[in-house]
Chains A and B, each alone.
Chain A
Amino acid sequence: MNAKTAKILLKGNEVMCEAAVRAGCKFFAGYPITPQNEVPEYMSWRLLQAGGVFVQAESEIAAINMVFGAAATGFRCMTSSSSPGISLKQEGISYITAAELPCVIANVQRGGPGLGNIRAAQGDYFQAVKGGGHGDYRLIVLAPSTMQELYSLTMNAFDYADHYRNPVMILTDGILGQMVEPIVPQEYQPLFDPAPKDYILDGCQGRKPRIVKTLHLQPAEALVEVNRRLVAKYARISGELKLSEEFLTDDAHLVVSGYGITAQIAKGAVLQARDKGLKVGLIRPITVWPFPEEPYLKAAKTAEKFLVVEMSNGQMVEDVRLAEQCRRPVEFFGVGGGWYPTIEEVLKRIEDHYPA
């Protein structure tokens, strides 16, 4: 078998790590929590092979702040956790966005609220895309729906982070994290020409010292200027980086939507609905921030209804309504707390909501 196309069998969490290492991640700090434990476990040996540094931190808060420091030195760096642990990281995430430093944060979502449970869920969408920490900031949020995409998007995440000097979140869940599937471990291909990192702290001999800071007291307008700069950056990202997949939408009367593993399950239901002669399509956001409005607005011209499926009580459904500007009814199917959709159930909802 050709070594470049040979498939390897890994858990989703390990797929993410392998992609991170091959994309040049050199620092990882994390703290155990199910269902993401394979991430620090894999990184603890694999990152060392690649000449990187692995730290099992004393807490999630310590881990994100270690990543803050590592990012300031210019090395590609990453942390991961699952829902309650990601909540703990929010202060650090806000600081890193303020300092405009690149890093990758993975959230392998589990059931909530509270300590919740350890089953997969998608209840952290609002936290990820609307800002779970304080202040006006945005994360680039990627939502892979298959193992192979988890691999490629993790590589891309490091490129987006460096390119926009912004943290990137990989929003997965306990199913994607725990699934074992063969993937083709493609070689890392950078998306952008590497720009010089003229902001990093790497020793100031022969040049003026640099300061990385998030506190701006004087003059009074300094923080307003920082915010204006961030707004401009987020507008640029919104203009350049809205990724989505449209599947059988051209003639669809009903358009299903979801992200992550839910979208993959929904796709199976869409195909079964097609087998039954129902004209059903699917829109899947790949970036959930920036949210790809355009495919929804386009579909609203021809489709009569939308059906959003999430492993939550309904969060992305609000962005779908904003995207299609309330031109068509948007139905919702889902609940949080560790409920998993099946192809059969989604198919039944498609049939229930299919326009007469």
Chain B
Amino acid sequence: MQTGTEIETRIVIAGFGGQGVVLAGNLLAQACVEEGKNVTMMVAYGAEMRGGTANSTVVISGGTIYSPVVTRPTIAVVMNTPSLEKFEPLVTAGGLIVGNGSMMHRGVQREDLKSVTIPATEIAHRLGNVRVANVVILGALIATADLLKLKSMERAIEILMAQKKAALVALNLEALRAGFAECRR
């Protein structure tokens, strides 16, 4: 959406509850703060729980953000098949889908948008913890979309995990870089 001269990037991150879509949204938002961009993150809260579907939305803009409610994302990060099926039709033409091929039974079908699929869960497993698949796929998003610097995402991981999850900082940084490298090979 365009208000004045600023173009918004509207990202939805979707997956099963437990795949870390909320943390992924928070990391993107923190990275925006690092770069001085305006950002709004909202979790589709509800009866979501581990095993159910969940999504978070992140709106990024150089200007004022008027609505946190995203109906037509410009980017969808999908962690599994149900999320692909739900959000593929909603992404705006010319948009981007970043998919977790490890958990998708099919590829992206639309031809009017860009898509990247990486085996995020397998990469995470290789790194020793399948739960960092969300951060692996963020690496792929950063490598593919001209959105945020890798450095800002690294800072976001350090900041958000510093207190309660300090032991996981190194693993998550590794996950981020692995996802990034997967798309830059």
Residues of A within 8 A of B (CB): 7, 9, 34-35, 118-119, 174-175, 178-182, 261, 264-265, 267-269, 271-272, 275, 340-344
Among A35, A174, A178, A343, which residue has its beta carbon within 8 angstroms of that of B66?
A343
A342 touches B29 (CB 8 A): no
Which residues of chain B have C-beta atoms less than 8 A from A182's C-beta? 29, 32-33, 38-39
Q: Which residue of A has the minimal Cβ distance to B1? A: A343
A179 touches B40 (CB 8 A): yes
Which residues of chain A have C-beta atoms less than 8 A from B40's C-beta? 179-181
Among listed B12-20, B42-50, B106-114, B170-178, interface-contacting one: B42-50
User: What are 29 of the A-B contact pairs (CB < 8 Å)?
Assistant: A9-B26, A9-B29, A9-B30, A118-B46, A119-B46, A175-B42, A175-B69, A178-B43, A179-B68, A180-B25, A180-B40, A181-B29, A181-B39, A182-B29, A182-B32, A182-B33, A182-B39, A261-B68, A267-B66, A268-B1, A269-B66, A271-B66, A272-B1, A272-B2, A272-B3, A342-B69, A343-B66, A343-B67, A344-B71
Residues facing A in B57-77 (CB within 8 A) are 66-69, 71
- In the bound assembly, the distance between CA atoms of A178 and B41 in angstroms comes to 9
Q: Does B52 contact A (CB under 8 A)?
A: no
Which residues of chain A have C-beta atoms less than 8 A from B33's C-beta? 7, 9, 182
- In the bound assembly, the distance between CA atoms of A9 and B37 in angstroms comes to 12
A34 touches B45 (CB 8 A): yes
Q: Does B4 contact A (CB under 8 A)?
A: yes
B42 touches A180 (CB 8 A): yes
Q: In the complex, how many angstroms separate the beta carbon of B71 from the nearest chain A beta carbon?
A: 5
Among B3, B26, B45, which residue has its beta carbon within 8 angstroms of that of A178?
B45
Q: Supply 6 further A-B pairs (C-beta < 8 A) apart from A9-B26, A9-B29.
A: A119-B46, A180-B42, A181-B39, A271-B4, A275-B3, A342-B69
- In the bound assembly, the distance between CA atoms of A271 and B69 in angstroms comes to 17
- In the bound assembly, the distance between CA atoms of A119 and B40 in angstroms comes to 18
B39 touches A340 (CB 8 A): no
Known: A268-B3, A271-B4, A343-B1. A179 touches B41 (CB 8 A): yes
Of A34, A180, A264, A275, chain B has the most CB atoms within 10 Å of the CB of A180
Which 3 residue pairs are nearest across A and B when measured between Cβ atoms? A268-B66, A180-B41, A265-B67
Which residues of chain B have C-beta atoms less than 8 A from A118's C-beta? 45-46
- In the bound assembly, the distance between CA atoms of A264 and B30 in angstroms comes to 22
Among A7, A9, A268, which residue has its beta carbon within 8 angstroms of that of B67?
A268
A265 touches B69 (CB 8 A): yes
B42 touches A271 (CB 8 A): no
- In the bound assembly, the distance between CA atoms of A7 and B37 in angstroms comes to 11
Q: In the complex, how many angstroms separate the beta carbon of A149 from the nearest chain B beta carbon?
A: 13
Which residues of chain A have C-beta atoms less than 8 A from B1's C-beta? 268, 272, 343
- In the bound assembly, the distance between CA atoms of A119 and B32 in angstroms comes to 27
